[in-house]
Amino acid sequence: MPKIQVLDQNTINQIAAGEVVERPQAVVKELVENSIDAKANAITVEIKSGGIDFIRVTDNGFGIDREDVPNMFLRHSTSKIRTAIDLINVSSLGFRGEALSSIAAVAQVELITKTKDSLTGTRYQIEGGKARDLEEIGCPNGTTLIVRNLFFNTPARKKFLKSPNTEAGYISDLMNRLAASHPHISFKFINNNKVKLHTSGNGNVKDIIYNIYGRDIAFNLIPVEAQKGDLKISGYIGDPKISRGNRSYENYFLNGRYIKSSLITKAIEDAYKPYTMNHKYPFTSLHIQIEPSLVDVNVHPTKLEVRFKNSDEIYEMIFDGIRGALRNKELISQVKLVEEKEEVKEIKNVAEPFEVNRRASQNPPIQNPSGHNLPSQSLGIEKPKDLSYVEKQVKEDQISQTEIGKLQELVSEPTKFIKEELEQLSFLTEESVKEHRIIGQVFATYWLIEFDEKLYIIDQHAAHEKVLYEKIMKDFKGKTITSQNLNPPIVITFSMREQEVLEQYFDEFKNLGFEIEEFGGNEYAIRAIPSDLDGLAQKDIFMELIDNLTGEVYNQEPDILIDKIATISCKAAVKGNQRLSTREVHELIGLLLELENPYYCPHGRPTMISLTKYELEKKFKRVL
């Protein structure tokens, strides 16, 4: 057996670096979080070659005293905590004392720093964990950290990095999240001498979202606000129509820290479930504030994963907050006959050899006469001379209703036109229904309805599906579901896995109206089914239900069965290519009025869309 030896300090540091420094993105994350903890309100990150060759992070924070500089790069040296007890209430982003030592172990690092009370600054160089120089230097207040030649002494680690463009993309994603999680800090990100991101730091979250994600996202945001005791959630979620095919736009921040949490992800997606199609994921930018003692951020060296003490409360708060925001929003998608290209804002390249001029060049937010910051400054909307500009923007649907109020802050009192736009009637209210003019049915599937200078188009199948779905869910929760006896019964042969699912959900099947009993061997007899399935292919539907449950990875939850049976029962809905009378459509609209979410079917497809009169007039060249 090989003899056991104690590793030398250099090897220990490189092993530790492997836990913290996976790629250049991790270096940027640790350095920027240190700048945030130093109370900086302006942070610039510059990289070259994807951060592999060069990373520079400059801030205007507290700076570091000269005598503390060498200790910064020792393992487990930190200014954030003193004892293990402090870990319970830690609120800073960095606190382990591993980041700088880990970075210095695998790179060439240069530190330049100055506190506001010092006459001169300090320059310190460390390479591969070994100190090189410590000297005085003239520099502005704050700290600059330069990291060169990452993994220069560990080539095996370096060859596992992606291409410079890919690594730069990871850093760009990180900077976007940092900017969104700290709107009161001005961030600048420079990649190969090109400015890719520059935020004002004025605290306007919506401006930052526009800056990062563009106009389509920014103009389809829904605000979220909820609070329960010390737990608070705020921010924005996206209209379901801007959902994406992956979770990259699901962002949430805990006490200012970007994290990943299966609990929070589940709460978000469960809240959106009635509004989105399968394999579509929403946009969120949510800020969660929680008492530090109720969360453990010390789970993983990167501090990306956390554990909660009050997980049930957090789930309910996020779920209720999102579901409430969606419920209070009319979610009828407005279509355009001609898609207009979004104007791309060009950010001028700025040469910043050492960031000396950055602070001097920063401009304060532009103020209007009322003293408020220009609300739409980063949205590319200049101050209009009069309200005719605002009216034109509204008519052309160039801005959302929420932006109208922002523009009005810059000009005189709103005109009658603007007031009417702000006070538009919702399509699905008892008062609005009286004003509906049903034009007729097209393609034996869609109904055309004129209302409030818009053309609404209802998909009769999707709408009826949603009505049936809500009815079945209501009947189940109210325990008013009735059964229909089958004569003869349906006999089905099940595999062992299918039998396991059947036994696991036996009580739920019974509550839904199924009567099932063993028939011998691997066969079971279905002697009764829910009345809502009467007249359908009962065996096929039941097997589809079993197949879906067999494939579930989290099939311990009884609500899954309820949701799936309700979804499958919607096969009884009126189909496309089926003629309906005007009276039947009136009845269908009346049933939609009673629903919590009439805008999307159980599969996440829209039940209705709208088209403005103005859009039609543009197509016919009545307006230009």
pLDDT digits (tens, 9 = 90+) for 527-542: 988 776 666 666 777 7
Tokens for 362, please give them.
Answer: 């920063």
Q: Could you tell me if 532 and 468 are in contact, meaning their C-beta atoms sit under 8 angstroms apart?
A: yes
Q: What is the pLDDT of residue 418?
A: 43
Q: Are 206 and 234 in contact (CB under 8 A)?
A: no
Give the model's pLDDT for residue 253. Answer: 93
Domains of the chain: 9-198 (3.30.565.10), 215-334 (3.30.230.10), 358-422 (no CATH), 425-624 (3.30.1540.20)
Q: What is the pLDDT of residue 219?
A: 86
Res. 23 pLDDT band, cuts 50 70 90: very high
For the chain, the C-alpha Rg in angstroms (whole number) is 30
Is the separation of the CB atoms in 460 and 445 below 8 Å? yes
Quick one: what percent of the chain has pLDDT higher than 90? 29
CA 380 to chain CA centroid, nearest Å: 24
Look at 424 and 427; give whichever has higher pLDDT: 427
Contact 347, 196 (CB under 8 A): yes
Identify whether the C-beta of residue 210 lies closer than 8 Å to the C-beta of residue 379: yes
Q: Any alpha helices (H) in 38-113, and if so which ranges?
A: 99-105
Element (H or E) spanning 512, and its range? Answer: helix 506-512
Residue type, position 388, single letter = S
The string of pLDDT tens digits covering residues 131-170 is: 888 999 999 999 999 999 999 988 888 888 999 999 999 9
| DSSP-assigned states of every residue in 549-607 | HHT-SSTT-HHHHHHHHHHHHGGGSPPTT----HHHHHHHHHHHHT-S-TTB-TTS-BS
Amino acid occupying residue 121 = G
Tokens (6 digits) for 379: 């949205």
Query: Rounded CA gap, 211 and 539, in Å?
Result: 53
In this structure, what are the phi and psi dihedrals at residue 583, rounded to the nearest 5 degrees? -60, -40
Q: Which of 145-149, 268-272, 348-352, 585-589 has the lowest mean pLDDT?
A: 348-352
At residue 504 the predicted structure's pLDDT band, cuts being 50, 70 and 90, is confident
Q: Which two tokens stand for residue 307?
A: 């554990």
- The DSSP symbol for 533 reads G
Give 55's strand partners: 47, 147
Residue 412, pLDDT above cutoff 50: yes
Q: Compute how many other C-beta atoms are within 10 angstroms of the C-beta atom of residue 291.
A: 14
How far is it, in rounded angstroms, from Cα 290 to Cα 310?
Answer: 10
CA distances to 76, 271, 329 from 321, in Å: 40, 9, 13
119: left (phi over 0), alpha (psi -120 to 50) or beta: alpha
Distance, in Å, from the CA atom of 229 to the CA atom of 568, rounded to the nearest integer, reads 40
H helices present in 47-163, as ranges: 99-105, 155-158
**Strands 284-289 and 250-254, sheet pairing:** parallel
Helix or strand (DSSP H, E) at 430: helix 430-433
3-state secondary structure 317-353: HHHHHHHHHHHCCCCCEECCCCCCCCCCCCCCCCCCC
3-state secondary structure of 101: helix
CA–CA separation, 303 and 255 (whole Å): 13
pLDDT of amino acid 413 = 47
- Least Cα distance to 538 among 486, 574, 497 occurs for 486
Half-sphere exposure of 404 (CA within 13 A, CB side): 22
* Nearest CA-CA partner of 219 in 208, 231, 230, 210: 210
> Given this model, what pLDDT does residue 380 score?
41
pLDDT of residue 13: 59
Q: Is the pLDDT of residue 383 over 60?
A: no
- DSSP single-letter state for residue 281: B
Q: How far is CA 389 from CA 16, 341, 382, in A?
A: 59, 20, 10
Rounded Cα–Cα distance for residues 276 and 270 (Å) = 10
The DSSP string of 70-81 is GGGGSTT--SS-
By the 10 Å C-beta count (0-12 exposed, 13-18 middle, 19+ buried), 247 is classed as middle
Q: Report the pLDDT value the prediction gives residue 172, as an integer from 0 to 100.
A: 93
Q: How confident is residue 93, by pLDDT bands cut at 50, 70 and 90?
A: very low
Of 333, 318, 328, residue with least CA distance to 235? 318
Which residue has 């039940």 as its token pair?
Answer: 607
